[in-house]
Amino acid sequence: MIQRIQTLFLLLAAALIISMFNFPLAYFMTESGEVHVLKITGIFSWDGTQQMNTLPLLILFGLSGTLLLVDIFLYKRRVLQMRVAVYVILILLGGTGLMAYYIWLGQKELQADWTLKVAFVFPVVSAVLTFLAFRNIRKDEALVRAYERIR
């Protein structure tokens, strides 16, 4: 299982998504100098009070991280593993769009300038890693089918 390259891709993608729960996605700076932070769980002011709830982000990225971890253990069912990988890619891209929406909404509500942090690109990198895993799973499935034809 761990010796397959697609397992490493899926593990790296899951690690990136899980690490998003610890890092800020963006900062908002108002004209008065107040700093607000966009995290997976919401937009918070610097003193920790929640300004806006981002529960859909929490659900989407929690689901994608869980599916990535489950997908690692589906190595004996390659067709299902490919299907789950495609769903994860769609969820990650949708979550990236939702993050952009929350940045736009936060800028509008707080009347603030925003700055993206490195964790904002984690879902895109995870989607690329999941796609690479998908390609390698597809290669394995084609190889198994070729061997079955030879028998």
Q: What is the pTM of this model?
A: 0.90
Name 61's Cβ contacts closer than 8 Å, sequence gap at least 6. 17, 20, 21, 40, 95, 123
In which domain, by residue range, is 133 found? 5-23+59-109+118-144
Could you read off the pLDDT of 94-140 as tens digits, one per residue?
Answer: 999 999 999 999 999 989 999 999 999 999 999 999 999 999 999 98
For residue 66, being part of any structural domain is answered with yes
Residue type, 26: A
For residue 131, being part of any structural domain is answered with yes
Question: Residue 36 phi/psi, 5° resolution?
Answer: -120, 150
**Number of domains into which the chain is organized:** 1
- Judge contact between 94 and 59, C-beta under 8 A: no
Could you read off the pLDDT of 5-35 as tens digits, one per residue?
Answer: 999 999 999 999 999 999 999 999 999 888 9
